[in-house]
Amino acid sequence: MGNLTREEQAAVEAAMAAPMLAQVEAWAGINSGSRNLGGLADVAALLSDAFAGLPGAVTMVDPAPVDAVDAAGKRFDIQHGRNLHLVVRPQAPVQLLLTGHMDTVFGLDHPFQSLTWLEPGVLGGPGVADMKGGIAVMLAALSAFEASAGAGRLGYEVIINSDEEVGSPGSAGLIAMAARGKRAALTYEPAALPDGTLAGARPGSGNFSFVIGGKSAHAGRNPEDGRNAVVAAADLALRLAEARGPSLSVNVARVDGGGPNNVVPDNAVLRVNLRPATLKDQARAQALIDAAVEQIAAEHDVSIHAHGGFGRPPKPMTPEAEILFGLVKQAGADLGQSIGWQPTGGVCDGNNIAACGVPVIDTMGVRGGKIHSMEEYLIVESLAERAALSAVTLLRLAGEAR
């Protein structure tokens, strides 16, 4: 190891000795798919007990109301789990935000439910990398940091939400509130690559459901009296798809609607995901959507209602972010870890934090791979590696208050 102070060395040793593997096995052994409210509550209870060892009171915050559109275009409410929130030393001169998520993409009825040792040092299982391993790393680093002499110089908020894998619709407001005034943020998504590479810039993401109302008529006797909602949906889908390019990804994901072959369909729902590279691209995409909806509605004489929006703004690599990345890179170098970063096409809560003007590194979690698949795995030695990296990073950010 390189230029570590005695304080940093002590924090590293404490962080690396934390019972992270046992925690991952316990937490990942409970299904906590984003829609499994019972499983999320069980995991939240374990996390509350674990984080209760830190200063400050752990609270569970109810999600904001969320609705969606069904296949018939009708709105319905969606329930999400509660979100863990911890505030420590809010009056300290340096303030950070640390975030993670307890939910996974694997529902209660998904076949991927158990943990398996794929080989020595490689644990497979739902959420072991994304991101129950990351939560264990966060807790280990914070616990080690709290035992240091410099702890009083730094305050922080921790949020572990229950709906990140579905876009954080019920927790985005809580994250935005907690991000205010923070010097920096660390989010514990797994590393972008198995070698530990961090994610740099990210595109934004917007999910839209376009509810199209037409007019039914007999397909043989008087089709001219009808207004075909499915055709209008197809026209809108093509119009949006034509806009895709290097700085804007457009994925037409699904069309619902229609009915018997002898009836002009009077309803359709079009679902589209758009990923703009920059905020300018997002504005351009929104203008495109608005114009296309107006034009298609007029041309087909139908009604179109757009539900949804850009829930994940683009996350650019700003000068402030580069400084934070540099700090983490140096911490890694002093630990004998090579830390690099690269742009990625995925999105996460780091997008939302960056939109608040806070520099964020959102892949401080474990090394692993094949997330969101039945082959997800955790490289166990990375638990200690990344806990040490976070512990040194926290101490050096706290040192800015001197």
What is the secondary structure of 308-328 as a DSSP string? EEEEE--B---HHHHHHHHHH
Count the residues in the chain: 402
The amino acid at residue 401 is: A
> How far is it, in rounded angstroms, from Cα 339 to Cα 359?
17
DSSP character at residue 30: S
The amino acid at residue 99 is: T
Global pTM value: 0.96
Are 33 and 110 a contacting pair, CB within 8 Å? yes
Q: Quick one: which of 288, 265, 217, 262 has its CA closest to 73?
A: 265
From first to last of its 402 residues, what are the pLDDT tens digits of the chain? 578 999 999 999 999 999 999 999 999 999 999 999 999 999 999 999 999 999 999 999 999 999 999 999 999 999 999 999 999 999 999 999 999 999 999 999 999 999 999 999 999 999 999 999 999 999 999 999 999 999 999 999 999 999 999 999 999 999 999 999 999 999 999 999 999 999 999 999 999 999 999 999 999 999 999 999 999 999 999 999 999 999 999 999 999 999 999 999 999 999 999 999 999 999 999 999 999 999 999 999 999 999 999 999 999 999 999 999 999 999 999 999 999 999 999 999 999 999 999 999 999 999 999 999 999 999 999 999 999 999 999 999 999 976
C-alpha distance from residue 239 to each of 139, 290, 315, 316, 337 (Å): 47, 12, 26, 27, 48
DSSP 254-280: EEEE---TTB---EEEEEEEEEESSHH
> How far is it, in rounded angstroms, from Cα 198 to Cα 184?
16
Residue 1 is predicted with a pLDDT of 59
Domains in the chain with CATH codes:
6-202+315-401 (3.40.630.10), 205-312 (3.30.70.360)
Residue 401 is predicted with a pLDDT of 77
DSSP character at residue 225: G
Q: What is the dihedral sign for C-alpha 205, 346, 64, 174?
A: negative
Longest CA–CA separation in the chain, Å: 87
